[in-house]
Chains A and B, each alone.
Chain A
């Protein structure tokens, strides 16, 4: 998959920008580390979040993890399909496994994130 349009955080979330909307999910590295995802707790649509807020929860059989939003704004859509198919995050983390969509407030927050090459370098540094 071509990830040139994706921006990443050190916490392994990604953002993909479509117009003034930021789509947010977790990286392939993150889903592999986490293992089989069996439950996703989604936020309410309409909720306003600030960069760094916990905005969703994913759970594997053994572990729970918060997902932190890399950008601020209003949550305009959540991926309800994950409620019945949480494994979509494992199967297709950058596609069907998207988690929330946020109306972008501040484009600078996105500029400061890592691009795919930088993120891969970052992963090489930590592994």
Chain B
């Protein structure tokens, strides 16, 4: 099993370790509920080093990024970040990604852990005609996510950089505890927070993680695992590759039209998506909440007009909202807020209704 450079720290912290996408990762430390609510209220620190970092460098770096992603990377300035997607020619997902513009001819794509090899191969293959060097530097980088309302206060104890000046979906290069870092105001929790990318050895990375927790203690900051990461992202209405978005649903069906810029130049998937946009979609990803008691989970069958339609793509008990929520695809004519449908939980069909997403939105 692969180990992040913070692996030792998880054992020191007595994390409950599981295999995730081939990595030995903490699913939880003190408990998913506790960690989830700590992030909503104070702060939590996550090891997300399993995420992938793929760099595109060269004269045609922008052209390559434009061709392989759905969003308009030409809008980016150095220091900007964009949520985007790698799409198949059918307009479905290879992966959802973050695009960082590092400098004029240098972009960083941050990809899902489970997709690193696939994405790297895909990008190299699809960008072969561009004058660009493509490098998978995932194993060099550790990534620590500091998430929650106290994030800025805590991180400011470790850096002289003006964190206040880093806006949401922006980053700077700077030092954190003397370590060269990319300090990115991003996250996957629905809270304010930072993701710190560092290229350092195990001891340095682990020590930074433990030091952040040590100093974070006075703000009630605790370590948080992949369990809370999943419930936090779902409560915030964010899709997960492999659950809610995949290579059989288009970016329009996934209700992510805001990352689809059909007016930019040519890119993979454009033709089909232009057509789908004009003709309309048949199904759409929605958020739901259970009306009846129970918890709907990934893979449970859903019924529309008493006919089996699909399955729950993500479902959980939401620890902050304290109710059962989830996401699924429904026929587009049945996606209006309040529309009811059924989910089979074990031997019972229970009632659910379409609700607005995000389920949870922080006060700004």
Contacts and interface: CB of A to CB of B under 8 A. Distances in A.
A79 interface: no
Given A61-B227, A61-B231, A62-B27, A83 B32 contact: no
A82 B28 CA distance: 24
B294 A35 contact: no
28 contacts: A35-B31, A35-B32, A36-B31, A36-B33, A38-B33, A38-B295, A39-B293, A39-B294, A39-B295, A39-B317, A39-B324, A41-B293, A41-B346, A57-B346, A59-B295, A59-B317, A60-B32, A61-B36, A61-B227, A61-B316, A61-B317, A61-B319, A62-B27, A62-B32, A62-B227, A62-B316, A64-B295, A64-B297
Contacts of B295: 38-39, 59, 64
A85 to B, nearest CB: 13
Most A-side CB within 10 Å, residue of B34, B316, B317: B317
B32 A61 contact: yes
Contacts of B346: 41, 57
A83 to B, nearest CB: 7
A35 B293 contact: no
Interface in B288-321: 293-295, 297, 316-317, 319
Interface string B317-346: 101000010000000000000000000001
Contacts of A61: 32-33, 36, 227, 231, 316-317, 319
Given A35-B31, A38-B295, 8 more contacts: A38-B317, A39-B293, A39-B294, A57-B346, A59-B317, A61-B33, A61-B319, A64-B297
Nearest to A87: B33
The 4 tightest CB contacts between A and B, nearest first, are A61-B32, A36-B33, A38-B317, A36-B31
Given A57-B346, A61-B231, A62-B227, A41 B294 contact: yes
